[in-house]
Structure 1
Amino acid sequence: MNGAQALLRTLVDAGVTVCFGNPGTSEMHFVAALDAVPEMRGVLGLFEGAVTGAADGYARMAGKPAATLLHLGPGLANGLANLHNARRARTGIVNVVGDHATYHKQYDAPLESDIESLSGTVGWTRTSASTEALAADAAEAVAVARSGRIATLILPADISWGDGGKPAAPLDAPVRPTVADNVVQSIVDVLRSGESTVILLGNVGTRERAIRAANRISQATGVKLFAETFPARIERGAGVPALERLGYLAEQVTWQLTDVRDLVLAGTKSPVSFFAYPGKPSDLVPDDCKVHVLAEPGDDITAALEAVAAIVAPDVEPVLQAENRPELPTGELTPQNWVDVIGALLPENAVIIDESNTSGLLLPTATAGAPKHDVLTLTGGSIGFGLPNAVGAAVACPDRPVICLQADGSAMYTASALWTMARENLNVTTVVLSNRSYAILKLELQRVGAESTGPKALDWLDLSRPDLDFVALATGMGIPATRATTAEELAEQFRAAQGKEGPHVIEAIVPTLF
C-alpha cells in the first residue's frame, strides 16, 4: 500500500468520508487512491476558494470534518479566504496540501513556496516526513479538526507514492470540557443580582437545545439574550425560542447593550467593532459593564446553560416562536419585500446560507416564524463564502432543501461553485440579489469619514458597465436560471425551484439600499 492509499484509508476510518478538491501534479497519487478507497467521496471544485468554502459548509452541517485536497502553496493561498471564515466559525477541516518531492525542493521549481508559513495562519500544520509516519499524522490531523480547528497536512509527492504505508487507527474523539460548578454558581449570582444583564451566545450555544436553556433563564430572571453577530450555525423558526443577533454596525450594538451592567459570555467573546472608525470606540462593551465568562467556545456550552437553568429556572418552560409567515408581497422587488417572499415560502427543514449582505438586513424578521430551519452566516467577513458553503451543506444534508441567498458582488468571488452544484446535482436554490453595487462599501465610505464621494470613488463600488448576467452565468455552468423583477415573479420562480430536484438560480433585481 502506498502512502496516499494509507492516508485515505486512515481518513475514512476516522469518519472523514468527503474530500473537496482541486488537485495538481503533486497530488496525482492521492487522486489515484480514490479508486482504492471507494468509501471516500471526491467532490471536484474549479477554484480552491470554492473547495475550502464547501468543506466549511459541510462540516457546519454534518458535525464532522471534511477533507480538502489543494495543490501546493498557490492552491492553499487561493483557499485561504474561506479557511479564514472556517477558522472564525471554529469549523474542523483537514487540508491535504501536496508538495514537491523532498529531493526536488532544493531546485526551487516554479511552484515552490513556504507552505507551512501559509497554513500556519489558519491553524495546526505538519509536513509528513516519511511514508510510514503519514497515516499517524493523518489520524492526528483528524483529531485536531474534530476539536473545531483547521488542520493542514502537507504531503510531499514522494511520501505519497512511496511504498510501506499502513493505515492508522482513529484517535479518541475530543470531549468538550465541563464547566466547573463554581463557575456556574458565579453566573447564577450575577443573574440574581438584579442588575441589567445580557447573555451572549456563540458556537454551539446558538443551537436549539442551548437556546431553549438560555430562554428558560431569560424567562425566570429577565436577562436579555443575544446571539453573536455572525453565528456559524443558528437554529431558528417556529418551535424554537426566538434569539436576536447583535447588529453589524457598532451603533446597533451600542443601542442593544444600553444600560447593561453585566455581560455573560457563553461560547463567544466580547463584541468589538468590525473596523476602526474615527472618533468611535473599538470595544463595544459599555464602560461600566462587567464581563463574565460562563463557557469558552470549546467548552460544553449547552450543559453549562442547562446547569444554570436548573438552578434559576427549574420549573420554567421556554417560550417558543409561533408559526407566523408574512403575506406574499406584490409589486417591484425591493430590499424590504423580497425577504417576505422567502419568509412566506421557505420550505420545511431548510438550510439557509446567508450572504445576502445589505439586501438581506430584514431577512431575520421575515423568516422568524417560518418553519424550523438552520442559518449559516459569514463568520469571518471574507466574502465569497455563500455559494461554496451551499455546496458543502447540500452534500452533508442531501434530504434537506438548501437556500443560498447571495449578494451579486460576493457571488463573483466563487461563482465557479455553481458548476459543482450542477455536476453533483445538489438541491440548492440560489437567489442572487442583484443590485449591481458593492452597497456596503458605499455606506462604509461615509462611515470612515472619507472626504471624497465623487464619481471616481463611487465608480469603484459600481458593478454595472457591463451589468452582470447571472442567468447567463448559471446557464453556462449547467444550472436552470430565471430572472425576477417583481415579488410575484420571485414567488412563482421560487415555488417552481422547490418543486424540482437539483440546483436552480434566480436572479432577483433589487435596488441598492445606499
Structure 2
Amino acid sequence: MRPIEALLEIARDEGVTRIFGNPGTTELPLMDALVSAPDLRYVLGLQEGSVVAMADGYARASRRTSMVSLHIAAGVANGLIGMLNALRSRTPMVIVAGQQDRRHLLQDPMLSGDLVGLASAATKQAVEVQHARDLPVVLRRAFALAARPPAGPVLVSVPMDLLEEDADVAVPARSPVTGPGAAEAGDAAALLARAEHPVIIAGDGVGRAGAVAELVAVAERLGAAVHHQPMNDGIAFPTGHPLYAGMLAPRNAAVRETLAGYDAALIAGCHAFMPHHYTPGPAVPDGLAIVQVDEDPAELGRNFAVRYGLTGDLAGTLRALAGHLDGLVPPARERAERLGARHARARREVEETARAAYGPSPMDPRAAAHAVAAGLPDEAVVVEEAITVGLRLRAVLRQNIPGSYVHTVGGGLGWGIGAAVGTRMADPDRPVVAVLGDGCAMFGLQGLWSAARYEVPVAFVVMNNGEYRTLKDTLDQGGGASAEHGRYVGMDLAPPALDWQSAAPLFGIDAVRAGSADELRDAVASVKDLAAPLLIEAPVTGHGADR
C-alpha cells in the first residue's frame, strides 16, 4: 500500500468521515487522492483558524477524534489559535500538516519551516515523519494519543514527497484499548457523608466523559450545592436542577469566598479552577476537606491538597460513589429542599431584572442574553463566544441536556463561528445558535463562508456593542488613567461602525437586525425551522450603559 493510501485507510479505520482543511501545494498529493475517496468528505475553510475551529466543534459534538489538514509553516501558524483552544478544552484532534519536499529542504525552500517547533506548545505532541515506512505507525500513535486523557490535538508533519513515494508500507491494525475502571470510592464517600455542608464542583471532564447523570445522583444523595467550574466549556450538571448554584467566578479570591461556607468538597473532572484575573491567595480555603475525581492522574492534588484523590473512569467512579452514599446521608432531602428554594429565589431575581430591562435596540446586555435564552428551541445547542454578554447568558440559561452548551476556555478569539458550523455538521438534528461578541466574530469571520457553502443551518447572533467591552470593564475595576478620564485606547470598533448587514451577504448569508429584545427572542425561536445559515445582529448598549 502506498503511503497516501495508508493515510486514508487509517483515517477511515479511526472513524474519520470528514477532513477539515485549507489546501496548499504541500497538500496536493492528499487532494488528488481524495478524488477517489468519496467516503472521506473534504470540508473547505477559507482560513486555518476557521478550519481548526470547525474540527473542534465537530469532535465535541460527534464524540470522535476529528482530522485536520493544514498547509506547511504559515498554515500551521494560522491554525495555532485553534490548537491552543483545543488543547485547553481537551478536544481530540489529529492535524496532518504538509511539509516541503525533503529533496530540497536543505536549501530552505519557500514555505518550509519548523512545523514541529511551531506546534509543540499548542499540542499534546508534534512530530515529523521522515520515512514512508514510519507513517502508519506515527498516525496510529497520533489518534491514540489525541483521545487518551487528557485529550487534545496532535500534529503530524508529512513531507509532500513522502506521500508520493512508490513504496509498499504496512498498515498496523487498530488496537482497542480499555481504559481504567472505577476507583475505589468507599472511604471518600464516608468523608462526604460526614460533612454538614458539602459542595460539588462540576468540571468539564464530567460532560466529556458522559457522566452527568452519575454526578446528579451523587449530588442528590448528598443534598449538596453544585457549581460549574470557572468558565465551563459545557454542561457538566443540569443548569435547571434545583441543586445547581451557578458557575464559580474565574478568580481565586471569588472561588475561596464561595467555598468558605462548606466543610467538604467533591471536585470532579475539573482542571484546577484556571483563574483569569489574578487575586492573591489560593482558591481553596483552609480546612476544606477535598475529594477529587479525575481520569487524568496529573490533576489530583495538582494545585491544592486533597484528602482522597481518585483516578479512574469518571462515570464508573461517580456511579460507585453514589452507590456508597445511597441512604448514608439522612439530611440530604432536607438540604436539597432548602438549597432548591434558595436557588429558585436567586434565579427569579435574575429573571425579573433581565425582563425589566427589555426594550428597543440598542438593548441592555441583560435583556439581550435573556431574550436568547427565552427563544431557544427545545434541544438547541448554544455555541458561545460572547465574553461580557456571555456571562449574562450563563446566568439565565437553563439547559439540562448534555452537549447543549459549547464554549472554549482556551481564549483564542475567532473560534465561535467555525465551532458552530462543526457542531451542526456533527449533529444535524439539533438546532445550533452561536452567540458571538462582535469583536470575537471579526476574528473568525471567514467561517461564515463555510456555513454558506455547505448549507449549514446555524443562527449566528452577533452582540454588537462596537467595542472591546471586557477590557474597559477590567480597567475600571483596577482603576488607572482610563477609568479616571473615561478614555480607552484601542478598545472601540467605531467609527466606522461594523456593518453586519453588509458583511453577511459577502459570504452568501442572509442577515436580520433585531430591533428590540422581543424581536431577538422571536428571531432565535425561529431557528428551529432554518434551512440555511442566518446572521442575527443584536445591537446592545456599550460600556457602562446598563449599570
1:304 maps onto 2:307 in alignment = no
- In the aligned structure 2, how far is the partner of 1:250 from the partner of 1:448? 16
Q: 2:326 maps to what in 1?
A: 313
**1:473-512 mapped onto 2 (5 Å cutoff):** 473-512=503-542
Selected match of 2:390 from 360, 372, 375: 360
Query: What is the deviation of 1:297?
Result: 4.2
Contact 1:326 1:343 in 2 (8 A): no
Selected match of 1:348 from 349, 361, 378: 378
| Amino acid corresponding to residue 259 of structure 1 in structure 2 | G
**1:31-430 mapped onto 2 (5 Å cutoff):** 31-121=31-121, 122-147=123-148, 148-166=151-169, 168-181=171-184, 184-194=185-195, 196-206=197-207, 210-234=211-235, 236=238, 242=244, 244-276=246-278, 280-281=279-280, 283-297=282-296, 299-313=312-326, 330-332=358-360, 333-368=363-398, 374-430=404-460
| Amino acid corresponding to residue 305 of structure 1 in structure 2 | L
Secondary structure of 2:267 counterpart: strand
Aligned length: 509
- In the aligned structure 2, how far is the partner of 1:489 from the partner of 1:398? 26
Query: What is the deviation of 1:270?
Result: 2.8
**1:425-444 mapped onto 2 (5 Å cutoff):** 425-444=455-474
Query: What is the deviation of 1:343?
Result: 2.2
Contact 1:353 1:405 in 2 (8 A): yes
Query: What is the deviation of 1:355?
Result: 1.0
Relative to structure 2, which stretch is displaced further, 75-84 or 340-349? Answer: 340-349
Contact 1:204 1:302 in 2 (8 A): no
Contact 1:3 1:134 in 2 (8 A): yes
Q: 1:21 maps to what in 2?
A: 21
Query: What is the deviation of 1:42?
Result: 0.7
Secondary structure of 1:336 counterpart: helix
Secondary structure of 1:113 counterpart: coil
| Amino acid corresponding to residue 68 of structure 1 in structure 2 | V
Query: What is the deviation of 1:171?
Result: 2.4
Contact 1:48 1:79 in 2 (8 A): yes
Contact 1:206 1:231 in 2 (8 A): no
- In the aligned structure 2, how far is the partner of 1:241 from the partner of 1:197? 12
Query: What is the deviation of 1:303?
Result: 1.2
Unaligned runs of 5+ in 1: none
Query: What is the deviation of 1:237?
Result: 5.9
- In the aligned structure 1, how far is the partner of 2:227 from the partner of 2:296? 16
Higher helix share: 2
Relative to structure 2, which stretch is displaced further, 143-152 or 194-203? Answer: 194-203
Relative to structure 2, which stretch is displaced further, 157-166 or 491-500? Answer: 491-500
Relative to structure 2, which stretch is displaced further, 248-257 or 128-137? Answer: 248-257
| Amino acid corresponding to residue 153 of structure 1 in structure 2 | V
| Amino acid corresponding to residue 65 of structure 1 in structure 2 | T
Q: 2:308 maps to what in 1?
A: none
Query: What is the deviation of 1:205?
Result: 1.0
CA deviations 1:204-263 (Å, max 9, x no partner) are 413696333323323332333222223333164668974632223555423322233433
Contact 2:18 2:67 in 1 (8 A): yes
Relative to structure 2, which stretch is displaced further, 230-239 or 160-169? Answer: 230-239
- In the aligned structure 1, how far is the partner of 2:403 from the partner of 2:377? 9
CA deviations 1:43-66 (Å, max 9, x no partner) are 011111111111111111111011
Query: What is the deviation of 1:170?
Result: 4.5
TM-score by length of 2: 0.85
- In the aligned structure 1, how far is the partner of 2:498 from the partner of 2:314? 44
Q: Identity over aligned residues, as a percent? A: 29
Secondary structure of 1:308 counterpart: helix
Unaligned runs of 5+ in 2: 298-311
Query: What is the deviation of 1:366?
Result: 2.5
- In the aligned structure 2, how far is the partner of 1:369 from the partner of 1:206? 13
